[in-house]
Amino acid sequence: MSLIEKIQITTSSKNYTVGLYTDFRELAEEIRKVPNVSSLFIFTERGLSGLFQKYYKPVISSLGLKVHEIFIKGGEKNKHIRKTPEIYNELIKLGADRKSLILAMGGGVVGDFSGFIASTFLRGIRFAQVPTTLLACVDSSVGGKVAVNADLGKNMIGSFFQPEFVYAPLNSLSTLPRREWRCGMSEILKHSLLEGGEYLEKVRAGSIDVYNYESAVLHDFVADSIRFKAKIVSQDETETGLRKILNFGHTTAHAIESLTKYKKYSHGEAVAIGLLTATILSVEKQGLDPSWIGNLKEIDKNYDLPYQDKSKSREVAEHMLHDKKNVGNSIRFVLLKSPGEPVWDIPVEQQEIISAFRRQKNL
Ligand code: GLY
């Protein structure tokens, strides 16, 4: 067994596929399809390399290419512009050229960082994503957002730079800690609320039993999520309009991540809390059926996701003013008129955020 499903991404800059596979077996075939590759640079974390070497080494060596591994440190604090010069120098020393291919093997940090390096080295060389976390499979590896952090903000330096292909080997999820499952699940939940219909009903009916890389239900969620994201980025690659909906829940998430100094929550856990804040605001400002507040709380509980935070409501609202997606002093939200019917760029007053967050604390 290997290929489960392939999903086509069509953007104005590039067309490519996202393949879901049970394992690494068909990775060499995907690399062979990239024309005239001179050498391969695997960007990964040292620990991951140890875990997965037995899977990917034999596959990669069958290509007969010169292969180098470049180790990058995990964690958001290492996805920083200050970490880039040493990597550019290493690529130069190892003889990387315009026909080299970078393979980003890991979670969102590895994907964003490697993609950023690929987009800038020699004015851009080709790269491919091999996501090994649930969050990277369903979100960060798809759609070509690549970035590094600056001292004063997350993902402040980057671009839209699409990969040659995405190869998601789901057996890499076999070693995923519980927290990482939650992290990916909240992005699946986000996509399902934005899509509505059957997909949302499937997610509503599920539970933490899907936190298993062999689960057919999980495979279905991952495929649904990628199909949904493919549909959105194919219509709006560079987030001029529609793609903004993918930031649903993120305004609050960024504020509480920053207020808790990136220590209390993983990104996905913060997103889960943010989805509920946005749902409360959607009920109050867009006429979303109020039963969705309770429904979402139940879904969060079923997947072991947090749904409230103790931060001071006023501080959360003040922090939101720093969000890079704001225009001037107005705080913009993605909200839902109903599941499957999102609206974006909705201005929300600080006082409205404060009362929504207070309401959420008391659920
Ligand atoms: N993660 C949001 C986006 O790719 O647009």
Range of the domain at 159: 3-173
Is there a catalytic annotation at residue 322? no
> Where a domain ends, among 173, 202, 236?
173
Q: Is the beta carbon of 190 within 6 A of some atom in ligand 1? A: no
Q: How far is CA 345 from the centre of its chain?
A: 21
Q: Is the dihedral of CA 126, 80, 153, 106 positive or negative?
A: positive
Which of the listed residues 146, 166, 246 should we mutate to test ligand 1's pocket, taking the one with most ligand atoms within 8 A of CB?
246
* Whether residues 241 and 121 fall in one domain: no
* Whether residues 168 and 278 fall in one domain: no
Is there a catalytic annotation at residue 319? no
In tens digits, the chain (363 residues) has pLDDT values of 799 999 999 999 999 999 999 999 999 999 999 999 999 999 999 888 788 888 888 899 999 999 999 999 988 889 999 999 999 999 999 999 999 999 999 999 999 999 999 999 999 999 999 999 999 999 999 999 999 999 888 899 999 999 999 999 999 999 999 999 999 999 999 999 999 999 999 999 999 999 999 999 999 999 999 999 999 999 999 999 999 999 999 999 999 998 898 889 999 999 999 999 999 999 999 999 999 999 999 999 999 999 999 999 999 998 888 766 666 667 999 999 999 999 999 999 999 999 999 999 999
Q: Is the beta carbon of 237 within 6 A of some atom in ligand 1? A: no
Q: Is the beta carbon of 143 within 6 A of some atom in ligand 1? A: yes
* Whether residues 120 and 251 fall in one domain: no
User: What total of structural domains would you count in the chain?
Assistant: 2
* Whether residues 120 and 193 fall in one domain: no
* Whether residues 130 and 154 fall in one domain: yes
CATH assignment of the domain containing 310: 1.20.1090.10
Q: Is the beta carbon of 145 within 6 A of some atom in ligand 1? A: yes
Q: Among all chains, which residue has been given the structure tokens 């315009």?
A: 98
Q: Which of 79, 191, 243, 319 is catalytic?
A: 243
Q: How far is CA 322 from the centre of its chain?
A: 21
Cα–Cα dist 251/108, whole Å? 19
CB 187 within 8 A of CB 139: yes
CB 306 within 8 A of CB 269: yes
Degrees (nearest 5) of the Cα angle 86, 180, 303?
Answer: 160
* Whether residues 254 and 128 fall in one domain: no
> Where a domain ends, among 173, 203, 226?
173
Is there a catalytic annotation at residue 250? yes
Q: Which of 79, 182, 244, 254 is catalytic?
A: 254
Record the pTM. Answer: 0.95
* Whether residues 148 and 71 fall in one domain: yes
* Whether residues 189 and 319 fall in one domain: yes
Cα–Cα dist 188/204, whole Å? 11
Q: Is the beta carbon of 31 within 6 A of some atom in ligand 1? A: no
* Whether residues 102 and 197 fall in one domain: no
* Whether residues 10 and 143 fall in one domain: yes
Q: Residue 77's pLDDT is what? A: 86
Provide the annotated binding site for Zn(2+): 187, 250, 267
* Whether residues 95 and 227 fall in one domain: no
Provide the annotated binding site for NAD(+): 108-112, 132-133, 145, 154
Cα–Cα dist 298/187, whole Å? 16
Phi, psi of 126 (to 5 degrees): -75, 150
* Whether residues 196 and 136 fall in one domain: no
Q: Is the beta carbon of 243 within 6 A of some atom in ligand 1? A: yes
Which residue's alpha carbon is at the smallest distance from atom 5 of ligand 1?
A: 246
Burial of 183 (0-12, 13-18, 19+ CB in 10 A): buried
Q: What DSSP string runs through 142-192?
A: SS-EEEEEETTEEEEEEEE---S-EEEEGGGGGG--HHHHHHHHHHHHHHH
Q: Is the dihedral of CA 203, 209, 212, 215 positive or negative?
A: negative
Which residue's alpha carbon is at the smallest distance from atom 3 of ligand 1?
A: 246
Is there a catalytic annotation at residue 82? no
CB 210 within 8 A of CB 217: yes
Q: Is the beta carbon of 232 within 6 A of some atom in ligand 1? A: no
Question: Which stretches within the chain are classed as H helix?
Answer: 27-32, 46-61, 84-93, 108-120, 134-135, 178-195, 197-205, 216-235, 250-259, 267-286, 291-302, 313-320, 350-361
Is there a catalytic annotation at residue 239? yes
- Which candidate, 337, 270, 30, places its Cα nearest to that of 164? 30
Q: Among all chains, which residue has been given the structure tokens 């596959």?
A: 59
CATH assignment of the domain containing 161: 3.40.50.1970
